[in-house]
Amino acid sequence: MAAMNAAALAEENRTLKATLAQREARIERLEFDLAQLKKLLFGARSERLATLPDIDQLPLWDEVPEDAPVASPVAFKTVVVQSPAKNQPKRTALPAHLPREIVVLPLSAQDRQCPACGEERPVIGYESSERLDYVPAQLKVVETRREKCACAKCQGQLTTVPAPPQIIEQGIPLPGLLAHLLMAKYGYHLPLYRIEQIFAHQGVPIARTTLCDWVIQSGWQLQPLVERMLALLKQQPVIFSDDTTVAVQDRGKTRETRFWVYAGHSPPIVVYDHTETRAGKHPKAKLEGYSGYLQADAYAGYDQIFAAGKVLEVACWAHARRKFFEIARQTENGKRISAHEALEYIGRLYAIEREAKEQQLDAEGTRKLRQEQARPILAEFKAWLEDRLRQLAPKTPTAQAIGYALKNWPALERYTEDGRLEIDNNRSERAIRPLTIGRKNWLFLGSPKGGQVAATVFSLIQTCKELDLNPEAYLKDVLTRLPTTKQREIDSLLPHNWKPANV
């Protein structure tokens, strides 16, 4: 009887311990989710930890069971990053290409008189200083007069100079106005109602619906350029991709759609796409026929592209790091947990990338450096992750972060295979940022067809920025030349080939 009671008590004890462990894991998850929500509302966006705690600090009690063996301290290579010395502020010379207006301040007759002998002193030079002024943008009317002639003897024989082709036939805007409109909306993220107000303040009222029509028509005319850019992008060995949400107003209701970005770096090309959903069929259709590396986050929609084996997945260490960082930043009292140790491993990988940049290594040199230094760290890190995962409750945030890294491990370490690959997907995330800034200003797209127009213009503007070109000057020149450019010559108008017409 006593033995049965002891067995029952032991079983009850095990049940209670299991229940307690489950509840503690649930509490930890809920506390983490609450901290994440507070961060979204009030927190900073920087992914930097001020100071990591001491390496010898034991893991927190709520991450490791009481009966788990204590892991020996992990030896880490200390990486000291020297912050660049702050230069003293210096006034740089004003650009030489700016027009200059010379203002001469003459000496008075009294000042020119020599105080010693009373003779008039000649001017021997000037004390010069340059300052910057601003001339407001100005609308102007361009009147085109086409000569016509007629024979005085032969009535009806009339000849007129043909009208030059325009992007918008029978419309009043010239390429300079259209380029300014596109840049204001998609480059500086001004909603059309604000642009309407700016024109009205200059005494030229233009209805918002008219501005919208000009944007749509210009975007459709520019579409062949972006289609050609995509074809050239798919010839590159590496493509970076990401996506984000954007609201669209459709039949009086607002719904969520997606913007995708596809970027390359040889030459720099950025192509956007707008789709109704986030289904994997969209990137698969966009990258049809491509073979090479695709660097993206671990979104399952890309799996359709990787299934055939022609496209190899390259994962993003910034995404993997972010999951550990979010845990580490919520730690109170500076206690060290597993997330801090994971961040140090990842920091060592990024230190190798900095070394490759500092040495200005080419693709082959970068590959060799990664093979020699990063591969051993990756092997050590993977073993550490697997060992630590066995010690954690299954659904704690740290266990989920480790699970994410291990699940995507082959794609995470693939960047070491080729020096043209990058350790993270920040290139496409930087390309996504203008969209996230824009949607805070214009809130939603006015119509579904406006989404693809926006994608077209964003593609050209962002590619110009990557090439350090003036996007507005580029758009004005291209919109001027596009109506008379033959299809076989369209490559000359692409951003990486573009030369102004007057050069």
Tell me what the mean pLDDT of segment 365-379 comes to: 97
Contact 261, 282 (CB under 8 A): no
Would you state the structure tokens that stand for residue 275, as one six-digit string? 């789709």
Question: What is the pLDDT confidence band of residue 500, given thresholds at 50, 70 and 90?
Answer: confident
Provide the pLDDT for residue 446: 83
**Of 186 and 115, which is predicted with more confidence?**
186
Using H for helix, E for strand and C for coil, what is the string for 233-275?
Answer: HCCCCEEEEEEEEEEEEECCEEEEEEEEEEEEECCEEEEEEEE
Using H for helix, E for strand and C for coil, what is the string for 160-173?
Answer: ECCCCCCCCCCCCC
Domain borders along the chain are: 317-423
Provide the pLDDT for residue 151: 84
Residues 158, 151: Cα–Cα separation, whole Å:
7
Residues 464, 471: Cα–Cα separation, whole Å:
6
Provide the pLDDT for residue 175: 94
Residue 92 — φ and ψ, nearest 5°? -80, 155
Provide CB contacts within 8 A for 470, sequence distance 6+: 464
Contact 358, 82 (CB under 8 A): no
pLDDT surpasses 50 at 314: yes
Range of weakest confidence among 278-287, 420-429, 439-448: 439-448
Contact 339, 325 (CB under 8 A): yes
pTM of the predicted model over 0.85: no
Provide the pLDDT for residue 33: 63
Residues 349, 340: Cα–Cα separation, whole Å:
15
Cα atoms found within 13 Å of the Cα of residue 230, Cβ hemisphere only: 22
For every residue of 106-165, DSSP letters joined together read PPPHHHHB-TTT-PBPPP------------------------EEE-SSSTT-EEEPPPPP
Residue 273 — φ and ψ, nearest 5°? -140, 145
Residues 70, 68: Cα–Cα separation, whole Å:
6
**Closest C-alpha to 296, from 268, 269, 260, 322:** 260
Tell me what the mean pLDDT of segment 23-52 comes to: 61
Contact 435, 457 (CB under 8 A): no
Provide the pLDDT for residue 1: 60
- Our CA dihedral for 326, 330, 333, 337, rounded to 10 degrees, sits at -50
Residues 305, 240: Cα–Cα separation, whole Å:
13
Which residues, listed in sequence order, are joined to residue 256 by a DSSP beta bridge?
Answer: 247
Which residues, listed in sequence order, are joined to residue 268 by a DSSP beta bridge?
Answer: 265
Residues 502, 19: Cα–Cα separation, whole Å:
77
pLDDT surpasses 90 at 337: no
Residues 130, 93: Cα–Cα separation, whole Å:
9
Contact 167, 177 (CB under 8 A): no
Provide the pLDDT for residue 471: 97
Side chain identity, residue 103: V
Tell me what the mean pLDDT of segment 320-329 comes to: 89
Q: H-type helices in 234-370, by residue range?
A: 281-286, 303-306, 317-329, 338-358, 363-369
CB atoms within 10 A of CB 335: 13
Q: What percent of the chain has pLDDT over 70?
A: 83
Question: What is the pLDDT confidence band of residue 442, given thresholds at 50, 70 and 90?
Answer: confident
pLDDT surpasses 50 at 469: yes
3-class DSSP assignment, residue 236: coil
Residues in the chain: 503
